C-alpha cells in the first residue's frame, strides 16, 4: 500500500509494485534503476518500497509501527543513502565522489546478518542550499508524515558520469550480482545510460515519468487544427510537432496526452452528428491506450506515430 500521492502520480509503476509486494515478494528485485526527471520522486518511491517491505504490520499508508516511523524520519538502520555526503567513513575525505572505501563498507556490512530488508539508495548529492526545484519537489512528492529532508544544506541529484570514483562500480557490481537475501540496491538516474551498463544489465529499470510543466490545451488545439480530418501524411507531421512541443516546453508525453484528452472531451460537447461522435469516442480510447504505452517506457516517437496513424485511420 504505497502512499496515495505517489500512486496518483505514478499509477502504472505503483500498480506493478503493489502486485509484486502482495503476491510475489520473494521476487522483489535485488537492484532497481529508476529513470526520470525528478530525483526526489524516485527517492520517496524507493523509501515507500523499503517501508512496506519492513513494516511490522500490513504496510498501510498510515502505519505507525517502529519500522515505518524510522523510515519516515530517515533513522532506519537498514535503509542507507549512499552519496558524496552519506555513508562516509570518518577518515574518508573524498567529498566529490562516491569512493572505494564507501563501497567496501557496504560489501562488509552485507556479510552481517540483518533482520530487515536492507536498502541502499544511490544518488549524487551536493552541499548547497536547496534550490527552488528541490523545495518544490519535496512538497510535491513527499508522502504524508515523511521528514527526510529537514536540513536545507544539500541537494539530491541524479547519478551522473562523475558521481562514482573510477574503481567503485566494479566493486559495487560484485555486491549487486550476489547480494544476501532481502537486500535491494536502488540507483536514481535521469537516464539509465548515466550508470555503467554492467550494473544496469543486472538491474530492473523503471521509468517514473514526471513533468515540470503541464501542456497548454490551446497549444495542443493549434497542433490539431486539422482534426478530425487528419490525413496519413498529416499524421507524421503532427506526431513530430507534438514531440517538438514536449522538448521545447519541458513537458512529457503523459501531459500532452492528457491535454489531448481534454481537447477531445471539449469537441465531444459540441459535436452534432452521430458519426463524428462515434469517431471522437473511439479516438479518446486510442489516446488512453497511448498513455499506457507511454507509461511502459515506449519511445515518444513510437507512441505518437502509432496514435496519429490511428486517429488518421478514422478518416473517410
The nearest distance, CB 310 to Zn ion, in angstroms, is 45
CB nearer to Zn ion: give 12 or 28.
28
Q: From the centroid of its chain, how far is CA 169? A: 22
CB nearer to Zn ion: give 67 or 84.
67
CB nearer to Zn ion: give 60 or 174.
60
Question: Is 205 strand, coil or helix?
Answer: strand
Among 42-50, 68-76, 126-134, 307-315, the segment contacting Zn ion (CB under 5 A)? 68-76
CB nearer to Zn ion: give 37 or 65.
65
Q: Cell numbers 519537489 correspond to what residue?
A: 137
Among 22-30, 55-63, 271-279, 299-307, the segment contacting Zn ion (CB under 5 A)? 55-63
148 grid coordinates:
527526510
- CB-count burial class (<10 Å; 0-12, 13-18, 19+) for 171: middle
Per rule CB under 5 A, is residue 2 in the interface with Zn ion?
A: no
Report the C-alpha gap between 59 and 15 in whole angstroms.
15
Q: Are 51 and 71 in contact (CB under 8 A)?
A: yes
CB nearer to Zn ion: give 21 or 271.
21
CB nearer to Zn ion: give 54 or 203.
54
Q: Are 305 and 239 in contact (CB under 8 A)?
A: yes
The nearest distance, CB 63 to Zn ion, in angstroms, is 3
The nearest distance, CB 81 to Zn ion, in angstroms, is 20
Per rule CB under 5 A, is residue 3 in the interface with Zn ion?
A: no
Q: Are 79 and 119 in contact (CB under 8 A)?
A: yes
- The CA-to-CA distance between both ends of the chain, in Å, stands at 47
Per rule CB under 5 A, is residue 55 in the interface with Zn ion?
A: yes
Per rule CB under 5 A, is residue 68 in the interface with Zn ion?
A: yes
Residue from 63, 121, 175, 260 that binds Zn ion (CB under 5 A)?
63
Among 61-69, 79-87, 112-120, 218-226, the segment contacting Zn ion (CB under 5 A)? 61-69
Q: From the centroid of its chain, how far is CA 216? A: 23
Among 59-67, 104-112, 160-168, 240-248, the segment contacting Zn ion (CB under 5 A)? 59-67
Q: Are 120 and 185 in contact (CB under 8 A)?
A: yes
**Residues comprising the chain, all counted:** 316
Contacting residues toward Zn ion, per CB under 5 A: 55, 57, 63, 65, 68
Amino acid at each position: 500500500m504505497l502512499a496515495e500521492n505517489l500512486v496518483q502520480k505514478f499509477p502504472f509503476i505503483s500498480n506493478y509494485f503493489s502486485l509484486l509486494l502482495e503476491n510475489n515478494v520473494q521476487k522483489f528485485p535485488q537492484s532497481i534503476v529508476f529513470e526520470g526527471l525528478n530525483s526526489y520522486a524516485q527517492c520517496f518511491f524507493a523509501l515507500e518500497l523499503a517501508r512496506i517491505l519492513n513494516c511490522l504490520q500490513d504496510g498501510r499508508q498510515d502505519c505507525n509501527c517502529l519500522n515505518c516511523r524510522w523510515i519516515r524520519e530517515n533513522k532506519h538502520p537498514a535503509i542507507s543513502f549512499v552519496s558524496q555526503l552519506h555513508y562516509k567513513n570518518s577518515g574518508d575525505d573524498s567529498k566529490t565522489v562516491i569512493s572505494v572505501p564507501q563501497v567496501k563498507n557496504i560489501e562488509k556490512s552485507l556479510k552481517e546478518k540483518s533482520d530487515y530488508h536492507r536498502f541502499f539508495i544511490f544518488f549524487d548529492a551536493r552541499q548547497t542550499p536547496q534550490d527552488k526545484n528541490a523545495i518544490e519537489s519535496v512538497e510535491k512528492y513527499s508522502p504524508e508524515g515523511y521528514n527526510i529532508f529537514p536540513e536545507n544544506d544539500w541537494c539530491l541529484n541524479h547519478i551522473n558520469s562523475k558521481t562514482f570514483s573510477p574503481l567503485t562500480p566494479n566493486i559495487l557490481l560484485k555486491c549487486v550480482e550476489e547480494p544476501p537475501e532481502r537486500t535491494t540496491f536502488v540507483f536514481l538516474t535521469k537516464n539509465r545510460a548515466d550508470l555503467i551498463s554492467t550494473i544496469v544489465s543486472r538491474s530492473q529499470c523503471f521509468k517514473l515519468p514526471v513533468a515540470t510543466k503541464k501542456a497548454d490545451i490551446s497549444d495542443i488545439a493549434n497542433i490539431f487544427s486539422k482534426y478530425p480530418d487528419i490525413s496519413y501524411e498529416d499524421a507524421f507531421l503532427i506526431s513530430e510537432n507534438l514531440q517538438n512541443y514536449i522538448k521545447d516546453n519541458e513537458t512529457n508525453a503523459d501531459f500532452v496526452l492528457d491535454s489531448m484528452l481534454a481537447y477531445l472531451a471539449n469537441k465531444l460537447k459540441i459535436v452534432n452528428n452521430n458519426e463524428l461522435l462515434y469517431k471522437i469516442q473511439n479516438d479518446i480510447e486510442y489516446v488512453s491506450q497511448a498513455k499506457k504505452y507511454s507509461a511502459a517506457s515506449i519511445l515518444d516517437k513510437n507512441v505518437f506515430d502509432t496514435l496519429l496513424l490511428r486517429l488518421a485511420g478514422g478518416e473517410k
